[in-house]
Amino acid sequence: MDFLTSSVILASIAWICMLISRARKVSKLPPGPYGLPIIGNILQLGPKPHHSLAKLSRKYGPVMSLKLGSITTVVISSAETAKLVLQKHDSSFSNRTVLSAITALRHHEFSVGWLPVGNQWRKLRKICKEQMFSAPRLDASEGLRREKLQKLQDYLAERCERGTAVDVGEAAFTTALNLMSASLFSAEFVQFGSETSQEMKEAISSVVKSIGRPNLADYFPVLKAVDPQGIYKETELNVGRLFVKLDEIIDEKLRSRGEKRDLVEVLLEIHRRDEAQLSRDDIRHLLLDLLVAGTDTTSGTMEWAMTELIRNPQKMVKLRNEIRSFMSESGKQQIEESDISSLSYLQAVVKENFRLHPAAPFLVPHKANCDVEINGYIIPKNAQIFVNVWASGRDSKIWKNPDEFLPERFLNENDNIDFKGRDFELIPFGSGRRMCPGLPLADRMVHQMLVTFVGNYDWKLENMKPEEMDMNENFGITLEKAIPLKAIPIKV
């Protein structure tokens, strides 16, 4: 047998072995619905993918595979399997699937939310933890948050006196944005009810919606240059609008070299010492991450919480009574952040709201760094991972009457469940190394903002009964109410 013939035979054997290996891998993929040629399961996503994939998972199981165009996607829909992905195999699923919209203005190259795990990502996470979200930093800035909450209180009092409705989501957004901007820049961005507030809300919400919207350019990477739905272009426009504002602030800080020890001053000090360690691009993209993540999710969470409380007035009364009883017994004029642990029903309301209305229904998409076996199936390298926390929050195997708003469930059999990333039945902020670094601040803000909305007021809808409220969602990387909640505060 000559050399050429031997080479051909060996090459053929190698090719056959590769095909067999590939076939075995495909055969061990998690089960999933049959897909159409080329487009796969795209049409089965529908306008509310968190709903449609939750329904499919009841048929195919908590580890389910889909083909979205050319992208293999694995959907995780139970607490048990989420724990395997985010805890046991955390390192194997620690990177991100980079969406087309995220590449606008090269955001994926600098963003702490989208960078792969590595030295740059660790450096940015460390800065966030130490300079903004550590307990000492948060304790030191409590007065700042109290000031912004007082402005919210004043705004509600003015609306109450006039008998006019409050756009709850916008009021919460303005409060959260001013809190973030004061912490980051020692400045206040917007005023309640102002056009600037609405413009900022629209820009930030548009970025969030663009990232979360199903995008053909993600399913078929060959289409990225074409941008068939215009999602990349829209994201680029809105990110650019936000960068204009951030660049103005950075330039002013560089000129003034002020003594205010806000986050931008800390970042610029590092930048001046060693530009290679922290570039201007690193700073502006980090500030964008913090602004977007810290405002849109907070305002959406508050709007859903107030919606549920208005629909369940007896629970609103129960929460208000707890707040007032605590203040009366303690002799305090206001609730402090250290008091939150003493308000069990307040905590239960927040947990129940996170269960029913997680800010990010799929978390931020993860990516498999290698082949990983989960429940006897192979999740292949480079697969996109959706963790459907919306589905696990409504799992009837875990939660009794899962579609009802029942804060009391967290006072009884589920009182030990928290949302800090250790209890996988409730992980609205994720878990593992990629969980949201801003959780400590969000925890304080959501509780305190809810106290401000509920402590002194009852709420009345205009021209409708509470049970008639539209509960539809607009799907994105976060969930917002399709029809904004507008209600009149009534002093009680």
Phi, psi (5° rounding) for residue 371? -65, 130
- Which long-range contacts does 426-429 make (Cβ < 8 Å, 24+ apart)? 426/351, 426/354, 426/355, 426/393, 427/82, 427/86, 427/363, 427/387, 427/389, 427/392, 428/354, 428/358, 428/359, 428/360, 428/389
What's the pLDDT score for residue 476? Answer: 77
Closest CA to 424 of 61, 53, 65, 86: 86
Cβ proximity of 479 and 361 under 8 Å: yes
Q: Give the domain CATH number at 470.
A: 1.10.630.10
Domain presence at residue 358 = yes
Helices 168-185, 280-311: axis angle to 10 degrees equals 150
Number of domains in the chain: 1
CB atoms within 10 A of CB 270: 16
Between 204 and 1, the higher pLDDT residue: 204
Write the pLDDT tens digit of every residue in 48-92: 999 999 999 999 999 999 999 999 999 999 999 999 999 999 999
What's the pLDDT score for residue 254? Answer: 83
Percent of the chain at pLDDT exceeding 70: 93
Domain presence at residue 16 = no
* CA of residue 334 relative to chain centroid, distance: 29
Domain presence at residue 212 = yes
User: Rounded to an integer, what distance in angstroms lies between the CA atom of residue 415 and that of residue 398?
Assistant: 13
Percent of the chain at pLDDT exceeding 90: 68
What is the band of 257 on the pLDDT scale with cuts at 50, 70, 90? low
What's the pLDDT score for residue 143? Answer: 87
What's the pLDDT score for residue 23? Answer: 44
Task: Give the structural domain span for 336.
Answer: 51-491
Domain presence at residue 46 = no
pTM above 0.75, yes or no: yes
Strand 384-387 relative to strand 366-367: parallel, antiparallel, unpaired?
Answer: antiparallel
User: Rounded to an integer, what distance in angstroms lies between the CA atom of residue 405 and that of residue 265?
Assistant: 43
Domain presence at residue 13 = no
Closest CA to 184 of 133, 122, 119: 133
Domain presence at residue 9 = no
Does residue 63 sit in helix, strand or coil?
Answer: strand
Cβ proximity of 180 and 291 under 8 Å: yes
